[in-house]
Amino acid sequence: MPIATKLVESRATEVPRAILKPGGNIVTVHEETMKCKKKKTQGPRKQVPPEICDTVVVGSNKVSLDSTCSSDSSSSSGNSVVKKVNSENGNGRSAKMKRNTYGSHVSPAHKDSAPSKRCDWITPNSDPLYTCFHDKEWGVPVIDDDRKLFELLVFSQALAEHTWPAILNHRDIFRHLFENFDPSSIAQFTEKNLVTPKINGNPLLSEQKLRAIVENAKQLLKVQLEFGSFSNYCWKFVNNKPIRNEFRYGRQIPVKTPKAELISKDMMRRGFQCVGPKVVYSFMQVSGLVNNHLLTCFRHEECDITIKNEIKTEVKEEKV
């Protein structure tokens, strides 16, 4: 047999080449051969409108891409979309109705589970405690709660040695060490109380910070006698109404302001220690004296609504 004839016959009997599905799964040679046989025996297959095919492909790909961060219900909803489209193809519905039903590229379950927009320093990789702190505490006005205010002041001072996630992870240790931030108890601390537990071989706080906290507790008690409460003293600097900033980017937020410098000078004049303008401004932000949630953050408006409701409650109580 001539060589040319052998080459033709070998090409005719060559095994079909494997191809890729839209989702990236390899089609086996056996599957491709079986599809060819079915097309010959069953005749032409009913065409599915292109818009429905696009919806199914995009929807299934969307579910597979988000499977690491979505619940099981989202993946099952993606499968149900595929099944429903296949069943409706046989019922003879119009392509327009099917497009209206399945035109969305994101399943409802995935849209509902999408996280709210937060300040840009909170990322998907942030410590869950830090994210919860941002959503529940940071920027919420603290009024008539001197222990809470003193706790936040101590945490603002500790930021010189720790990050917020580290402080929040050791919050129970802080509360145990400082008698749940009771100023009257801390003011009685002796040298024995100035020894802190070690975290990874390092003291929780430096001796300077410890002594400053004890001294600040003593000065806070004096402020309570003069102003009725530490809360009254703090809020008088902002006329009992939070400063509401409208920053769009985190880089726009300053580390200190003239108002923080004013409060810092007054506190140092009264004998408070480790209360520089940067520490004071951190304290103002976390205690809600200033609302520095970004405009794009869902907490920006919520913190503003919180203080408005509290003011309305105070007005009603005064009228009664």
pLDDT cut 70: percent of the chain above it: 59
| 223 class by beta-carbon count within 10 Å (0-12 exposed, 13-18 middle, 19+ buried) | buried
Q: What's the pTM?
A: 0.62
Instruction: Tell me the average pLDDT across 121-129.
Output: 93
Contact 198, 204 (CB under 8 A): yes
| pLDDT surpassing 80 at residue 223 | yes
Q: 229: which DSSP letter?
A: S
Instruction: Tell me the average pLDDT across 70-98.
Output: 41
| pLDDT surpassing 90 at residue 65 | no
198-199 and 243-244 beta bridge pairing: unpaired
CA distance 189 to 195: 11
Contact 189, 182 (CB under 8 A): no
- N- to C-terminal Cα separation, the chain: 113
Instruction: Give the pair of three-digit tokens for residue 169.
Output: 């992870």
Q: Which amino acid is at 58?
A: V
- pLDDT at residue 111, as a whole number: 39
Q: Where are the beta strands (DSSP E) in the chain?
A: 198-199, 202-203, 243-244, 290-291
Contact 83, 214 (CB under 8 A): no
* Mean pLDDT of the residues in the chain: 74
CA distance 91 to 112: 31
- As assigned by CATH, the class of the 128-319 domain is mainly alpha
pLDDT tens-digit series, residues 7-55? 445 554 554 544 434 434 444 444 555 555 555 555 555 454 444 334 3
277 Cβ contact partners less than 8 Å away, ≥ 6 residues apart: 256, 257, 260, 261, 264
Q: Among positive and negative, which fits the CA dihedral 117, 159, 165, 136?
A: negative
Could you state, in order of their start, the residue ranges of all structural domains in the chain? 16-45, 48-114, 128-319
pLDDT tens-digit series, residues 170-218? 999 999 999 999 999 999 999 888 888 888 888 899 999 999 999 999 9
